[in-house]
Structure 1
Amino acid sequence: MDLDLRKIRYFTAVAELLHFGRAAELLHIAQPVLSRQIRALEKDLGADLFVRDSHGVTLTDAGRQLLDDAHQLLATADGTRRRVLQAARGRRRLVVGFRAGVVVTPALRAFTAAHPDVEAGARRVEWDDQEQLVLDGTVDIAYVRRPVREDGLELRPLYSETRVAMLPAEHRLAGKPEIMLADLDGERWLRYNDPLPGDLPLRTIEEKFERVAAGSGITLVPHSVAEQYSRPDIAYVSVSDADPDRVLLAWAAGRRSALIAAFAEAAAGVAVPD
């Protein structure tokens, strides 16, 4: 039995909204049609995906498992479609994703010198979309930072770098040559996926700058970020016992691409030493 991607898209909409009516509006189809498609998918899979009762709609264990897998499945399908269209247009192209602080230029230069017929470019990725943009084909290969959701990805460790504390310029520890994590006990920490109560989630390094400069908290960043981003209202201090930041290359698992392999080799050849 082959999975129908259209039904998977319908399922995902219902699973995320937990409401057939709103999902039907989002998908621009009639609710009875959506209900029939979900029933058909459940029949295809041989499992109930939703519990439907007077209290509303909830996911079954099988539904939760399918939702976990559906995002990767749909992203992979989107990536395949995008690459096929590019091939049909006769374009040889490589898009490299990178996180803040990562310098892509040396690897791109080495790659394009060996492949002058390939259009190569770079695109910034963030912590919350670094995996998705690889899986859906928006970027072909990316420099990612841990933590990384590994499902569907091939990962190659590239290098590690020290991390430093990002502090307000007037902070009590600003100007110190080096500190330890214990020196930061009692501070309010800013983390991408763990916002302070009442705060909006952080998404970019620029948002961290604004929060730190305003005195909302402190954070650790890779040394390369400190080198590339300088502000008079921000101070960076080395933290001797902080875990290093890990940079890896990521591409879609199972994808056989000579261009991806060639770029990975070029990136490894110019990687920053540990």
Structure 2
Amino acid sequence: MTSTMFNIGGDLGVRRLGFGAMRLPTEAGPAREASLAVARRAVQLGVTLIDTAHMYGWGANEELLAEALYPYADGLLITTKVGVARSSSSAGWKLDARPDVLRAQVDHALRRLRVERIDLLQLHRIDPEVPLAEQLGALRELRTEGKVGRIGLSEVTVAELDQAREIVDIASVQNRYSLLDREHEPVLAACEAAGIAFLPWRPVAGAASAASAEIAAVAAELDATPAQVSLAWLLHHAPVILPIPGTARIDHLEENLAAAQLRLDQSCLDRLDRLAG
């Protein structure tokens, strides 16, 4: 039977099916009230891993989660990411992992989340303009100071993961990955070999697309939704996978979390395994 739990860094136990807060609206009004309700419902339903980032509303997403959930339930992990800053570019953001920037973003996150330590802090992207040793060295110093518990990475290659692990212990990797998008399969394999948590973002991407007729067929046979089948496949595919599907709707949240109870027999798994994106 597929395990429902995973110990990040070997000692931080969470339920494997988490929640990504990126999509929650933060502006004042009914949309914000709905966001607060979604976050609270996630915890009511047993979610113990919630993902956010400095980039999500430039801190507004972190503040929203604190408003919704503080004081936090025992065992609830809110992980955030640093290393992206506002920019006047057309994209509106840029990579910036200079040590002073990372340190400032962590201090802001501590204040916004109302905590003294971020138990899992992830580098949102490796900044090519800053030596990796300086980026991870800054995070290691924050860990030594007690402001950070464990360090993770996001959107990395196997080579980058290997290089990072020579500098500091890596507890997690957050890469784009789904049933129909397996570009980072080698990174997942490296994480599984090392016992590193792998948090796929966009974990149900394409599940309802025309290209996913086989997913829809399996879902129909199991009286489930394509998104539920996609999440159940992820949970079965590797024990280190911790999906973090995001939504701003309670009905979608409940649908996603029900995937933890969906059982895929070997025939279904074989059919889904063949669907490489």
TM-score (norm 2): 0.25
Higher relative contact order at CA 8 Å, sep ≥6: structure 1 or structure 2? Answer: 1
TM-score (norm 1): 0.25
Instruction: Select the structure of larger CA radius of gyration.
Output: 1
